[in-house]
Structure 1
Amino acid sequence: MTARLNHAQPYAVGLFRLVVGLLFACHGAASLFGVLGGAMGTHGGTVEAGAWPAWYAAAIQLVCGVLVLFGLGTRGAAFIASGSMAYAYFDVHQQNALWPLQNGGELSAIYCWAFLLLVFTGSGAFGLDRLLAARSGGSTAEERTTRPVAA
């Protein structure tokens, strides 16, 4: 059973990356362009261009979300996204209360840890990084670390 789960690990990580990247990119698109209901707290509007930190957070969400979604530079994009969510939690949410349930920071905390996990696991299956490495005939560090573990 463990061997089968280990064999499926790159695919599970790849699907996890796809979902997390898509949802994160949707947050950025909503804030920047007013699509999908618009920015949270603006009733369908957008954040003001250049407004600190909301506009920059939305730009990071969109760009890093798309990169993670496609598995292109996953580790670097996930590192930046994780840091931005840590900043959001500690600077924006935690000043209201200690616990995420009390301060509205659950999404920031969950995204922070999800992206930190992707920093260490890489893109898993289905990522463009792996496709580009296969085309060039090389093996990237990410490809070597996402191979199934022998049981």
Structure 2
Amino acid sequence: MNSPLPERWTQLALGLFRVVVGLLFTCHGAASLFDVLGGPQGGHAPTLLEWPGWWASAIQLAGGILVLVGLLTRPAALLCSGSMAYAYFTVHQEKALWPIQNGGEPSVMFCWAFLAIATVGPGALSLDRLLLGHRPETTAPAPGDAEARAFTAR
């Protein structure tokens, strides 16, 4: 099955998605740690090494930057996703069942966005591709691939 868009456009869209999600997450971390951009969303800046506030903010800042620039993207995105799942279940879930009721929508959206990035990779415009030579995996067989033709003929 062919994709309606060329692979390069898909990779570019993925890269832009990664950049936006990483930038937004970085802003949350910077707001909490440095009292900028409107300050901490939870009301107060966490003290150094305070659990879990400072660590969550540090993951938001560092993980967000790594995802934003596309460096070590998959492990960074997985860590960010896990931190948001933790935040949802320890902070929001106890208040009400649904994210819209308990204020956990940002945590859920970030969790799933980062899980998607960890799964599909950084897309275009990433340092992973530039420095480490990672290329997108293609699922479509090459036109001259005899094994693929034999498989699809079955």
TM-score range, shorter chain: 0.7 to 0.9
How far off its partner does 1:4 sit?
Answer: 2.2
Distance in 2 (CA, whole Å) between partners of 1:49 and 1:32 is 9
Structure 1 match to 2:72: 73
How far off its partner does 1:47 sit?
Answer: 2.0
Structure 2 match to 1:118: 117
Structure 2 match to 1:132: 131
How far off its partner does 1:48 sit?
Answer: 1.9
TM norm structure 1: 0.86
Structure 2 match to 1:105: 104
SS in 1 for 2:86: helix
Distance in 2 (CA, whole Å) between partners of 1:56 and 1:96 is 22
Structure 2 match to 1:62: 61
1:2-151 correspondence runs (5 A):
2-4=3-5, 6-42=7-43, 46-134=45-133, 140=134, 143-145=135-137, 147=138, 149=140
Aligned AA (2:96): A
Structure 2 match to 1:137: none
Aligned AA (1:41): G
How far off its partner does 1:148 sit?
Answer: 8.0
Aligned AA (1:106): E
Tell me if the contact between 1:7 and 1:148 (Cα under 8 Å) persists in the aligned partners: no
Tell me if the contact between 1:47 and 1:54 (Cα under 8 Å) persists in the aligned partners: yes
- Structure whose alpha-carbon radius of gyration is higher: 2
Moved over 3 A (4+): 147-150
Distance in 1 (CA, whole Å) between partners of 2:114 and 2:50 is 24
Deviations 1:61-93 (A, max 9, x none): 000000000000000000000000000001110
In the alignment, structure 2 segments of 5+ residues that lack a partner are 142-154
What RMSD, in angstroms, separates the aligned Cα atoms of the two structures? 2.0
Tell me if the contact between 2:123 and 2:136 (Cα under 8 Å) persists in the aligned partners: no
**Identical-residue share of aligned pairs (%):** 55
Distance in 1 (CA, whole Å) between partners of 2:128 and 2:8 is 20
How far off its partner does 1:46 sit?
Answer: 2.1
SS in 1 for 2:47: coil
In the alignment, structure 1 segments of 5+ residues that lack a partner are 135-139
Distance in 1 (CA, whole Å) between partners of 2:88 and 2:75 is 20
Aligned AA (2:30): A
Structure 1 match to 2:151: none
Aligned AA (2:119): F
Distance in 2 (CA, whole Å) between partners of 1:9 and 1:15 is 10
How far off its partner does 1:5 sit?
Answer: 5.1
